[in-house]
Amino acid sequence: MQRRVSMADVAAAAGVSGQTVSRVVNGSPRVDPDTRARIETAMAELGYRPHRAARALRTGRSGTIGVIVATLATVGNSRMLEAVASAAAHRELAVTLVALAERADIAAAFDRLHDLGVDGAIVLNEASAIAEGVTAPQGLALVAVDSPGGAFATVQSDHAGGAEAATRRLRDAGRRSIAHVAGPAGSYAAAERERGWRAAHDGAPAPEPLRGDWGAASGHAAGRRLAADADVDAVFAANDQMALGVLRALAEAGRDDVAVIGFDDVADAADYRPPLTTVRQDFAALGEAAVAALAATLDGAPPTRTVVPTTLIARASG
């Protein structure tokens, strides 16, 4: 029977110590990127696969992380989950998902993950707001995505910066009355995008935003109200799905004079009519940052705050 490839074999092939290989296998961020790449290449060439049971006994870690999410109905949540799962798989980590049926379930979700023996958990978007003020079980490391922060590490897109860049693009194009279709109250990302929209007004009065629920139907309802206002010549929507609803309402009202910008850069944004100018979130970078922050927390690092840049993608709508 062929001998199983060991960490010592990988260390010899990569020219590093066994401890350095162990750090890479266990997802520690405390490895130089070039060294990590060399070790990962040696693993691939030798066909090394971590022995999970042995690693758990040696390190006291299960090699499994939890993800807590309030809903998967929104594009942002589903893409963030995909990104976290991909980043975890790259580190040879398994993922256990807990979806919240009600706000009160967050403490039960923490307890469930703790009982399952996960090493730590990443709390996504709306669930991060729900988790505020709830104490996690002792020994359960946490990272929150889209949260004002506190006792645990946080990761987020530059929501405010992206929203401000989008709104300034409209202002620079000569648009005078830039309405905002905001996300739901209580959403940190929605509040940050509204903050960026307001900042782009440079202290000038801004109209009261209309609030949606991230869905296209709520964008359509807001768009009908905005289409009836002859002064409105531009709309910044807090996500692309609501922007789609706004575009439909404007088209129905014959308002082809109104510019529209969204947020997220969903896969179909370039195929909207007209193609949608939007702010792109780097979900792959967000997922990697969240998993890296969790690994650092498990290694004893203090809580950190990571902000991932956004990019304005210019198309025909705005």
The CATH H-level (homologous superfamily) assignment of domain 159-281 is Response regulator (3.40.50.2300)
The band of 62, judged by pLDDT with boundaries at 50, 70 and 90, is low
CA dist 266 and 250 (Å) reads 20
pLDDT digits (tens, 9 = 90+) for 199-231: 999 999 899 999 999 999 999 999 999 999 999
> What is the radius of gyration, based on Cα positions, of the chain?
23
Q: How far apart are the first and last CA of the chain?
A: 64
CA dist 74 and 175 (Å) reads 30
Q: Which amino acid does the sequence have at 226?
A: L
- Would 64-156+283-308 and 159-281 be classified into the same CATH topology? yes
Question: Does CATH place domain 7-50 in 2.102.10.10?
Answer: no
pLDDT digits (tens, 9 = 90+) for 173-198: 999 999 999 999 989 999 999 999 99
CA dist 63 and 29 (Å) reads 15
Q: Which amino acid does the sequence have at 173?
A: A
Q: Which amino acid does the sequence have at 294?
A: L
Would you list the domain boundaries of the chain?
7-50, 64-156+283-308, 159-281
- pTM, two decimal places: 0.80
The CATH H-level (homologous superfamily) assignment of domain 64-156+283-308 is Response regulator (3.40.50.2300)
pLDDT digits (tens, 9 = 90+) for 66-110: 998 888 888 888 999 999 999 999 888 889 998 887 655 778 888
- Residue found by looking up tokens 């439909």 in the block: 248
